[in-house]
Amino acid sequence: MGDKIDEFKVAGKIKTTISGKMIYMLLNELADKDGVITISQKKIGKILGIHKTTVRRNLRRLERSKYILIHSRYTEDGGRLSNKYILR
Question: Domain boundaries in the chain?
Answer: 2-87
Q: Give the global pTM.
A: 0.84
Chain centroid to Cα 49, Å, comes to 14
Query: Which residue would you say has higher pLDDT here, 5 or 35?
Result: 35
State how far the Cα of 22 lies from the Cα of 19, in Å rounded to an integer.
5
What's 15-45 look like in SS3? Answer: CCCHHHHHHHHHHHHHCCCCCEEECCHHHHH
Across 28-41, average pLDDT? 95
pLDDT tens digits, residue range 52-81? 999 999 999 999 999 999 999 999 999 999
Q: What class does CATH assign to 2-87?
A: mainly alpha
Q: In this predicted structure, what is the pLDDT of residue 84?
A: 97
pLDDT above 70: percentage of residues in the chain: 86
